[in-house]
Structure 1
Amino acid sequence: MTVSPIHQDTINAAVWAACDTFRGVVDPSIYKDYVLTMLFLKYISDLWQDHHEQYQAQHGDHPELIDELLKSERFVLPPPAGFHALYQARHEPGNGERIDRALHLIEESNYAKLGSVFQDISFNSNKLGDEAQKNDILRHLLEDFARPELNLRPSRVGSLDIIGNAYEYLIKHFASTSGKKAGEFYTPPEVSQLAARLVDPQEGDEICDPTCGSGSLLMKCGQLIRERGGSKRYALYGQEAIGSTWALAKMNMFLHGEDNHRIEWGDTLRNPKLLDAQGQLKHFDVVVANPPFSLEKWGHEAAAADKYRRFKRGVPPRTKADYAFILHMVETMKPGTGRMAVVVPHGVLFRGAAEGKIRKQLVDENLLDTVIGLPEKLFYGTGIPAAILVFRRNKRDDRVLFVDASRDYQEGKNQNQLRAQDLYRIVAACTARQDVDKYAHLATREQIAAHDYNLNIPRYVSGFEPQQSVDLNSVRAEREQLKGELLVLEEKMASYLKELGYE
């Protein structure tokens, strides 16, 4: 039987329809977690059923052998915990309790991979109303995900990042509430892909995202390594401050078979948890991040006494954490192979005071490698343009490449998008590290110092289109010719009027 592939638009439409079940009952910042958790449960249930049917077709007369083969799968789905069992019982009382029990069974059966992932989500919560209302809401939710078009078997899903993409879709629609207030700016796939290419992850690398969100940027790095050589010999590390988003990252890793990962829950600036055996900051070959822009209340009070000495180059401002994240990332790069890419607001390039002193230090230490200006309206939740800063421990020169990619994009109604040719042009310029008229400039440290360490891109890359010079003599001659032609026309008009009897 031919299985038709599922499209992300279909998943997004179903996710949005499922949200209707909660509207007017639960705040959007909360019900996205219910919807995405149910999406996860449906996917692993379809995956498990797919494998069960394959084994049954091969060994139908040997149920004991099928059970043994299922035990060798990379995860275990106890029969009562599957989506289809929950769906069959949807008209019975206790939907919330049954779903919670199923999630806990899945967690316990796969504790090494999913331990504590569902501790912050309860389908049996009073937030969903009294027992009758809650049971009815959850029945509708189960029915939303049981529709035939949401058959999420591997043969239909392919390589889709279903959790990450659906999360992006919800953040897009809730940017004015849950997304914006929580500082959650999902990294668009094209920006993640660009950041991954800029740091060029290799087989054997340890890769970290200290503000990993739903894990999309980490997975893009892993995907790039696999595409090049098929190897999964790398390790992914991440930390995420928001509990529900940390859970999404863990689910995302699980869905994509990224078993060699360590994702911690906690505030990276106040309480970094990715430490080595000696209790110091662990070092990584690759560090990538899209931290929340200009985060306030980030832990400024304790920064000067930071036991990891992350702020030895200076303490960032109390109300802007941008350089706090940058300095943390710089300190976690491996001495020999370390390289990093971080998405930042443009203010990071030119703001003065403490940030100016930190910026000067990073340039003088020859750590800053590349500054890339991106188009506006790329990110959900904010329309401001961003930049990507690339740092390296072992640079091949002592210059800084500036790239103005702000004018290359596909324009959308609410959000712009980087195209494949835009990504290629940026990466090609970064690889060549040569001047490109109105696009890229390789600046010396003396040039940067002459600009008082201001990294504002137009200071180095001019997008000015000079107007063609005007030949005044030619303009004057053309004017005299036109005046002569006008005089002839006026004489003809006067003659016509006279013939008609008008003086």
Structure 2
Amino acid sequence: MTDNIKQEMINKALWAACDTFRGTISADSYKDFILTMLFLKYISDVWQDHYEAYQTQYGDDSILIEEKMRAEQFALPREANFYTLLEMRHEPDNGKRIDQALKILEEANSGMLKSAGKRVFQDISFNTDKLGEGKHKNLILRHLLEDFASPQLNLKPSRVGALDVIGNAYEYLIRNFAASAGQKAGEFYTPPEVSDLLAELLDPQPGDDICDPTAGSASLLLKCGQKIFANHKSNKYRLYGQEAISSTWSLAKMNMFLHGQDNHQIEWGDTIRNPKLLDPHGNLLQFDVVTANPPFSLDKWGYEEAAHDEFMRFERGLPPKTKGDYAFILHMMSTLKPDTGRMGVVVPLGVLFRGSNEAIIRKRLIEENLLDAVIGLPEKLFYGSGIAAAILIFKKKKTNTNVIFIDASREYKAGKNQNLLSKENIDKILEAYKNAADMDKYSHIATLEEIQKNDYNLNLPRYVDSLEKKEEGDFLAIYYEREKLKTQLIELDNDIESYLVKLGYTTQSRI
């Protein structure tokens, strides 16, 4: 490396570039401009770095240099080069030029930047009136180009070294945009420590096919791939995903490229209504590992279409019309390989105990001996949602009929706005899971008979008493008891709702 560059320097310069947009548009809007410009700047710097290396090697032999550059993994026409745009930044129509450059880039690299006719940048326009009109918009985009031309954002491989420096910068931006975007953040981002935990629990191996049917920005998929390389020094795996939100699909494609992941297939579309990951015969592809953080209790998830599902994903039962949690679980279950298949999914706590059709589906999954673990997580882990959640682990081939319950809801590191899972918190969960250990007030190995006696209700307090005994009059003990009673009240409400449905009445669920 030509000078000592640190990740923090790049991150700081990128976050400073966001100042160009602050006060003009919101973070959830300008993230697309910043991340796209990072992508364009990086590939331009890589191209320039390689061109200069060939100049050093071949001197003035421009024909040979051009021939070598045509063999590059990524084609970069002059009109799509960041530095061409930078040279013209003082002229009118910066927005139009940047949009045209992105379109040219897509056409020159259709294999990487297109999928079934969908272009990575087609929903991203720098010529939008969101940035203002005329001269004001042109000025903002001129400043943006100049920000990325700063020496701190020289992203040439000869300077920054490992590709992960760029991938990490992209993740840094996504994480900070998620923190600023509030409720919308859940559409594209799973907190890194939750992704780490899922990857550790599922233990992906070399040769595995790994899928996330609600891929978001693909951070969870990338964690699984990185885990294989870290544990086995192997890049022999393949990543698959599908994402319904167009702009988020674009983030996933760019994220994969900037992390050097060529072995991926990320499709755009609604996973429930129109699954795109199919084999040549039109059947659902199957995977060794399936993992996801689907939208919690999604309304209008595709209930009408599911009743006539051609892939037979809902034979165990049809999830409620206004709560799609089990729709995603059943889809994921249908894509597991019969021998090696294992899956981890993040769910709201209501999935553990809600009644009606969800109770029927839950019972069938348990009776088929597919459920392996229920792990309660702390509240306020996820951007845009303050509620507590759980991780469910399923396996196609289990060696016994037990299920381990882990209550990690009180094990976290408090943050300013979000709680975090520390390394110690994650290690404790993994120790209990991998050792299948009963740990006082933390984990319990439940037999099938025990779960049956609880009427297939998976609510954690039924299996793990995590409340500390306090002296009489201790207000913390009163608080804990209140929280426990609130959970029991929710269960009771759902039981009542189930009975009313059976009697022909309709009611609005509370969860």
Report if aligned partners of 1:346, 1:386 keep a CA contact under 8 Å in 2. yes
- Residue in structure 2 matching 1:117, options 117, 120, 129: 120
**CA separation of 1:301/1:190 partners in 2, compared to 1, >3 Å: closer, same or farther?**
same
Residue equivalent to 1:438: 441
CA-atom RMSD, angstroms?
A: 2.1
The one-letter code sitting in structure 2 at the alignment partner of 1:132 is: K
1:318 equivalent to 2:321? Answer: yes
1:168 equivalent to 2:175? Answer: yes
TM superposition shift of 1:340: 0.5
Q: Among the aligned pairs, what percent are the same residue?
A: 60
**CA separation of 1:454/1:185 partners in 2, compared to 1, >3 Å: closer, same or farther?**
farther
Q: Deviations over 1:201-236 (max 9, x none)?
A: 111111110000111111111111122333222111
Q: Deviations over 1:24-73 (max 9, x none)?
A: 54454432212211121112222222333333334435444433333333
Q: Deviations over 1:139-178 (max 9, x none)?
A: 11112222222223344374243323312211210215x4
Report if aligned partners of 1:12, 1:169 keep a CA contact under 8 Å in 2. no
TM superposition shift of 1:461: 1.5
* TM-score, normalisation: structure 2: 0.86
- Residue in structure 1 matching 2:420, options 417, 422, 427: 417
Residue equivalent to 2:40: 41
- Residue in structure 1 matching 2:342, options 339, 344, 347: 339
TM superposition shift of 1:375: 1.8
Residue equivalent to 2:507: none
How far apart are the structure 2 equivalents of 1:11 and 1:381? 27
Report if aligned partners of 1:212, 1:289 keep a CA contact under 8 Å in 2. yes
1:133 equivalent to 2:136? Answer: yes
How far apart are the structure 2 equivalents of 1:77 and 1:326? 42
- Residue in structure 1 matching 2:460, options 445, 457, 462: 457
The one-letter code sitting in structure 1 at the alignment partner of 2:160 is: R
Residue equivalent to 1:499: none
Report if aligned partners of 1:164, 1:214 keep a CA contact under 8 Å in 2. no
TM superposition shift of 1:2: 4.4
How far apart are the structure 1 equivalents of 2:148 and 2:388? 37
How far apart are the structure 2 equivalents of 1:124 and 1:200? 45
Q: Point out where structure 2 has 5 or more consecutive residues left out of the alignment.
A: 473-511
Report if aligned partners of 1:185, 1:292 keep a CA contact under 8 Å in 2. no
Residue equivalent to 1:482: none
Aligned pairs for 1:48-447 within 5 A: 48-115=47-114, 116-154=119-157, 155-156=159-160, 158=162, 159-160=164-165, 161=167, 162-176=169-183, 178-179=184-185, 183-184=186-187, 186-447=189-450
Moved over 6 A (4+): none
How far apart are the structure 1 equivalents of 2:62 and 2:197? 48
Deviates more, 1:14-23 or 1:432-441: 14-23
Residue equivalent to 1:484: none
Q: Deviations over 1:392-451 (max 9, x none)?
A: 000121111111222222221112222222222222221111212222111001111111
How far apart are the structure 2 equivalents of 1:416 and 1:89? 45
Structure 2 residue matching 1:174: 3-state secondary structure:
helix
Report if aligned partners of 1:401, 1:442 keep a CA contact under 8 Å in 2. yes
Q: Deviations over 1:447-486 (max 9, x none)?
A: 11111111111221222334589xxxxxxxxxxxxxxxxx
The one-letter code sitting in structure 2 at the alignment partner of 1:226 is: F
How far apart are the structure 2 equivalents of 1:406 and 1:98? 51
Structure 1 residue matching 2:5: 3-state secondary structure:
coil
How far apart are the structure 1 equivalents of 2:280 and 2:94? 45
TM superposition shift of 1:319: 1.3
Deviates more, 1:27-36 or 1:446-455: 27-36
Q: Point out where structure 1 has 5 or more consecutive residues left out of the alignment.
A: 470-503
Larger radius of gyration: 1
How far apart are the structure 2 equivalents of 1:261 and 1:352? 38
Structure 1 residue matching 2:330: 3-state secondary structure:
helix
How far apart are the structure 2 equivalents of 1:310 and 1:449? 25
TM superposition shift of 1:126: 3.6
How far apart are the structure 1 equivalents of 2:469 and 2:139? 66
**CA separation of 1:226/1:65 partners in 2, compared to 1, >3 Å: closer, same or farther?**
farther
**CA separation of 1:44/1:376 partners in 2, compared to 1, >3 Å: closer, same or farther?**
same
Report if aligned partners of 2:338, 2:396 keep a CA contact under 8 Å in 1. yes
**CA separation of 1:5/1:14 partners in 2, compared to 1, >3 Å: closer, same or farther?**
closer
Deviates more, 1:124-133 or 1:357-366: 124-133
How far apart are the structure 2 equivalents of 1:436 and 1:374? 16
Report if aligned partners of 2:188, 2:248 keep a CA contact under 8 Å in 1. no
Structure 1 residue matching 2:187: 3-state secondary structure:
coil
**CA separation of 1:467/1:174 partners in 2, compared to 1, >3 Å: closer, same or farther?**
closer
**CA separation of 1:156/1:417 partners in 2, compared to 1, >3 Å: closer, same or farther?**
farther
Aligned length: 464
How far apart are the structure 2 equivalents of 1:329 and 1:246? 19
Deviates more, 1:102-111 or 1:335-344: 102-111
Structure 2 residue matching 1:336: 3-state secondary structure:
coil
TM superposition shift of 1:325: 0.6
Residue equivalent to 2:494: none
TM superposition shift of 1:136: 1.5
How far apart are the structure 2 equivalents of 1:11 and 1:412? 24
